[in-house]
Structure formats: structure tokens, C-alpha cells
Structure 1
Amino acid sequence: MTALRNWLFTGLLVIVPGAITLAVLNWLVGLLDQTLLILPTAWHPDRLLGFHIPGFGVVLTLGILLAVGAMTSNFAGRKLVQWGDRLVSRIPVVRSIYSSVKQVSDTLFSEGGNAFRTAVLVQWPREGVWTVAFITGAPGGEVAALLQDDYVSVYVPTTPNPTGGYFVMLRRSDCIELDMGVDAALRYIVSMGVVVPHEAAASSPA
């Protein structure tokens, strides 16, 4: 019975990661394949070839991103984007949603942005309890004036789903900057501490 139990757990360790990875990839490819809906029906690969080949939407999405990036990287393209931004800013309701999303995306995807570039160790939700978090910036405006100290904006993700979490402002001196990269920190959080980052594993005593 002990051998059977060991074989069962070993099989789970081999099968589960692969199965979950395939499921996520299948969902992602299926989601990106919805991009094909922007093409005329006569141009759909399914209609042209007579059968469905998954992944065409991924190629189309990458092509659109590259094309838009190339077109908007010059002076004329940037002016066109600015004109579009001004147009959207005149539409009620839409402008509030668009401006919020644009500010977040500009912060996250900008090469010069500092959001989610640094993992830190903070005491949360109370003193003596530690967790891994990410610096997203610094307080500004009225908030910064009221705090009157060196504070940073910190995102504390939940486990095992890091897309949910808490936004807090802490003194910079209360945050311990970690050497681990953001990817390693996310794996550490998602795995609930099971997957130890290489940096931490290498520095731990044998």
C-alpha cells in the first residue's frame, strides 16, 4: 500500500503541472483566436482551409501589436494617438474608464516606469507578520502632502491568486528590498511559499 501511495503522488507530481499548463495555454489560445472575428468571414482561416487550426489568432494578435507599435512609434503616429485621446476624452463615462486604464497601462508597460519592478518584504497585516509585496510608485498630490514623510505605494497580493490584493502606503524604511526578481517573487506567492526562489535557496544554510 505504501508503494501504491508513493506511485500515486509521484504520478500527480508529474501529471498535474503539465495538465494545468496545457489547460491555461488552451484557454489563452482560444481567447486570442477571438481576434479572428475582426476579419471578414471570407478571410477566416477555417473557411479558407476547410478546418480549424488553433493559433491563428495568436499570430494575428502579434501582427496587430507589431503593426500598431510600428505605426505609432514615429511623429505622425504619436500625433494620431494624441488626437484619438483628445477625442475619447470628450465622451462622457467612456473618458473616465479610458483614462484610468490608460494611466495604469502607461505605468505598467512604459520602459521608464518603476511599477512592479521591485519586490519588497513588508509586515502585513500586522507587525511581526511578513509577506512579499511590490512597489508601485510613490504617493502624490494631497496624499503626499498629508503624509509628510518618505512613503512608497505598495501592492500586497493575495495567495494563490495575485490579481487580488491590497494597496497600502508604507514608509520606505519599513520595506526591505529583495534581490529576487519580480517573476521569482510571483512564483513564491502563487505557490504559497512552496517554490523557493533560487536566490533565497542559494543563500540558505545547507
Structure 2
Amino acid sequence: MKKYFIAGMLVWAPLAITIWVMTWGLSVLDGVFGSVMAALIAVLPSALKPALQAFRELPGVGILIVVAIIFTTGIFAANFAGQWWIALWDRLIARIPIVKSIYSSVKQVSDTLFSSKGNAFRKAVLIPYPRNGSWTIAFITGNPAQEIKGKLDKEHVNVFLPTTPNPTSGFFMIVPVADIIELDMSVEEALTHIVSMGSVPPHHHVPSSVK
């Protein structure tokens, strides 16, 4: 009985978790659409409210519209005119107290993580943690700030150390380059290895060079 139950769990658990994550993401998108539509309904004339309410309640339309808006914005932002308008928008936001601090911080993080020119999560490495002789997988996220760099003797790098089995939380650390061992596995393979608590090995087994 135990063997069959575990075998069944191995089949259904990945599917259930995948569906849960996708449902959560879609509900977030649908929530964004619902908030926008609620604001429009509140300000539009009473004659238009029933039709707009019926449109809002159509299943899946919120997700489709939000995805279409994001995709259209990406096309717009990829050309010269779009970049000019985005720069203008950033300057306007920068003049709003409190909002500018939150917006600029989030924008810097998102630009670093999602931009193809960024360095975040571009390399998986081994670092000694929690003590010398023990190793864990981390991801290089950039170089230390100039002030920090000036106070350290050796060359250091910023790394993010994810937790297991939830890699969305973790620790930000500044470690010496000399203590890092670079890995040949991709970021995706390293994340899979972390989430599986080491039970799922990378697809290749090429030994890495030790710095």
C-alpha cells in the first residue's frame, strides 16, 4: 500500500504544484484587470455600467486583456519612440514623493533581473556555507557597491543564496571571489537541484574548474 501510494504521489504532485502555480499567476493577472474595471465602472455614466459589468464577468477575458496589454507595451518599449516616452514617464514618477523611492527601487531590481544585459542569476556557483568545508549553491547577482568594495581587501562578488525547497527566499551575501567555485550547470539546472534538495542531478556531469 505504501509503495503504491508513493508512486501515485510522484505522478500527481508535480502536476498539482504546476497547476497551483499557474492558477496563482493567472489569478493575479485577473485581479489586476478586475481592479481597473472596478475603477472604470465607478466613474462611467450609469447607462454604461451594466454592459461593462457584464464584460468584466466574462471568464478569462481579464487574463487575455492583461497579457495583451503587457505584450503591446513590450513592443512599444522596444523601439526608440517608446523608450523616449518611458524615460519621460520615469522623470514624472521621480517627482512624486514616497512613490519615487518605491518605484525607483523596484525598477532597478526588475531591470537587473529581467534585462538581457543584466548580470543577475547569470551564473551558478558554489560558496562555503555555513562554515568552511560545507558548500552550497548560490547565484552571482553583481559586484559590491563602491563603498563596500573600498573597505574590503580582496575581490568580492554579490551572491544570492536561495533556501530549500522554496528558492524565492534566501540570503544576500558578499563573498570573496577566491572562495567561489564556478559551476558548469545552467541556472535552471541549479534551481532544480536546489528545489529537489539535491535529489535531481543536473543533466551533465562535467567537472568544474576551481578558482
What residue number does 1:14 align with?
11
Summarize deviations over 1:139-194 as a string: whole Å, max 9, x none. 12211111143211111111111111111111112111111111111111111112
1:155 equivalenced with 2:160 (yes/no): yes
What residue number does 2:97 align with?
92
- TM-score normalised to the size of structure 1? 0.85
User: Aligned match of 2:196 in 171, 191, 194?
Assistant: 191
SS state of the match for residue 95, structure 2?
coil
**Distance in 1 separating the partners of 2:169 and 2:129:** 15
Summarize deviations over 1:96-153 as a string: whole Å, max 9, x none. 1111111111111111111101000111111111100000001122111111432111
**1:68–1:122 Cα change, 3 Å:** same
8 Å CA contact retained: 1:29, 1:57:
no
**Distance in 2 separating the partners of 1:178 and 1:30:** 36
- Segments of 5+ residues of structure 2 without an aligned counterpart are 42-50
8 Å CA contact retained: 1:149, 1:171:
yes
Query: In the TM superposition, what is the alpha-carbon distance from 1:26 to its structure 2 partner?
Result: 2.0
1:123 equivalenced with 2:128 (yes/no): yes
User: Aligned match of 1:53 in 45, 48, 59?
Assistant: 59
The one-letter amino acid of 2:129's match is W
8 Å CA contact retained: 2:33, 2:63:
no
SS state of the match for residue 116, structure 2?
coil
Aligned Cα root-mean-square deviation (Å): 2.1
Summarize deviations over 1:59-106 as a string: whole Å, max 9, x none. 222211121122222232222111211111111211111111111111
8 Å CA contact retained: 1:137, 1:153:
yes
The one-letter amino acid of 2:168's match is T
8 Å CA contact retained: 1:136, 1:155:
yes
The one-letter amino acid of 1:66's match is F
- Segments of 5+ residues of structure 1 without an aligned counterpart are none
- TM-score normalised to the size of structure 2? 0.83
Query: In the TM superposition, what is the alpha-carbon distance from 1:52 to its structure 2 partner?
Result: 4.7
**Distance in 2 separating the partners of 1:16 and 1:71:** 40
**1:20–1:74 Cα change, 3 Å:** closer
**Distance in 1 separating the partners of 2:92 and 2:79:** 20
